[in-house]
Amino acid sequence: LEETLKKLKETQAQLIKSEKMVGLSQLVAGVAHEINNAISFIYGNIAPARNYAEDLLDLLNLYQQYYSDPVAEIRDSQSIIEVDFIREDFPILLNSMEEGARRIQEIVLSLRNFSRHDESKQKQVNIHEGIDSTLLILQHRLKPQLGYPEIKIIKEYSNLPLVECLASQINQVFMNILANGIDALEMSWEKLKSKFYSTKPLIKIKTEAINKNYISIHIIDNGLGIPAEIKKRIFDPFYTTKPVGKGTGLGLSLSYQIIVEKHGGNFYCNSVVGQGTEFVIELPVIYGYNP
C-alpha cells in the first residue's frame, strides 16, 4: 500500500507539472503572438522612416547649398538643434532600431518554436533548431552576471536527419538539462570561485547520427561533477540537491519519462567528480521506433 501511494503521488505530481507545462506553453505562444504583431508595426515602418529622413536631409542640404546665408533666426536654430550631428546620427539611430526589432523577432520566433502548443501530435523537426531556440531563451543566464562569469557555449552539430517527435516536450527536456547545467556551473563557481576556473565555464552540445534509426545529443558541462551516491538518484521524482525554492526535483524525472517512455529513446548521465557532467539523449528518428 505504501509503495502504491508513493507511485500515485509521483504520478500526480508529474501530471500536475505536465498540465502546468501545457498551460505555460499556451501562455507563451499567445504572448509571443501579440509581441510579434506589435513589433511587426515597428519593423515594417523603419524602411519608410529611413526614406522620409533621407528625403528631408537631402532637402536640407539643398537649402544649405543655395541659401548659404540664412537669417539670424535660422542660424540660431541650426546651432541649437545641432543639424550636423542629427544628419550623422539619425541613420545610426534607425539602424539600431531595426537591429533591436530584428532581435525581438528572433526571440519571439524562438519562443514560438519552443512552445509549439498546437502540436499535440508528433511531427518531423530539426533538433538543432530546438536546441538553438532553448539557448536563446536562456541567453540571459549565459551572460556575465554580478559575481558570475560568462558561460561559453560550444556547438558541435553533425548533419542530422529530421526527427519525428513531440517537439514541445523535447524542447522542455533541452530546457531542463541546460538549466541544470547552468545551475551546476554557478554552484561550482560559488564553491571554488576563481580557483576552479583556470578554464572558463562552458557547456558543450554535441549531436551525431548513431545509425540510420537513432540520433544522439550530448550536453556536457565542466562543473564539479556529481558524486556517485547522488548520481544514482537524479532521475527519481522529487529528488533535488538544490536549496528550497530553487528546484522541484521533477525536471530530470519528467525528462526521463519524455525520452524513454514516450519516445522510446535512452537518457543517461555520465559524471566524474571534479571534471564535469554529461547528459546523453538518444532518440529514434521515427517516433516510438522499437526494433
Q: DSSP readout, 173-206?
A: HHHHHHHHHHHHHHHHHHHHHHHHTTS--EEEEE
| Residue where one domain finishes, among candidates 112, 132, 149 | 112
Coil/strand/helix, residue 287:
coil
140 and 268: one domain?
yes
Q: Is residue 56 part of a domain?
A: yes
14 and 156: one domain?
no
The pLDDT score that the predictor gives to residue 277 is 94
Q: Is residue 255 part of a domain?
A: yes
Q: Is residue 96 part of a domain?
A: yes
The pLDDT score that the predictor gives to residue 15 is 52
CA 211 to chain centre: 28
28 and 124: one domain?
no
Low-confidence ranges of the chain (pLDDT < 50): 16, 117-118, 244-245
Interhelix angle 2-66/167-196, rounded to 10 degrees, is: 80
142 and 94: one domain?
no
DSSP state of 145: B
The pLDDT score that the predictor gives to residue 119 is 53
pTM, entire model: 0.64
53 and 123: one domain?
no
What CATH number does residue 193 fall under?
3.30.565.10
The pLDDT score that the predictor gives to residue 4 is 59
Q: Is residue 289 part of a domain?
A: no
DSSP state of 120: -
177 and 90: one domain?
no
55 and 152: one domain?
no
Burial class (CB within 10 angstroms; exposed 0-12, middle 13-18, buried 19+) of 62? exposed
Give the integer Cα–Cα distance in Å for 67 and 85. Answer: 20
| Residue where one domain finishes, among candidates 77, 96, 112 | 112
- List Cβ neighbours of 132 (8 Å cut-off, separation of 6 or more): 110
Q: Is residue 231 part of a domain?
A: yes
77 and 173: one domain?
no
Q: Is residue 100 part of a domain?
A: yes
| Residue where one domain finishes, among candidates 95, 112, 129 | 112
Q: What is the pLDDT of residues 190-203, one digit of tens each?
A: 776 655 556 688 99
Instruction: Note down the domain range covering 36.
Output: 2-112
- If phi > 0 it is left, if psi is from -120 to 50 it is alpha, else beta; for residue 254 that is alpha
155 and 279: one domain?
yes
Q: Is residue 291 part of a domain?
A: no
DSSP symbols for 59-76: HHHHHHHH--S--HHHHH
Burial class (CB within 10 angstroms; exposed 0-12, middle 13-18, buried 19+) of 11? exposed
The pLDDT score that the predictor gives to residue 113 is 62
Q: Is residue 245 part of a domain?
A: yes
127 and 233: one domain?
yes
Give the integer Cα–Cα distance in Å for 177 and 278. Answer: 10
71 and 211: one domain?
no
234 and 90: one domain?
no
**Domains: count for the chain:** 2
Q: What is the pLDDT of residues 8-64, one digit of tens each?
A: 655 555 554 555 555 555 566 667 777 778 888 888 888 899 899 889 888 888 888
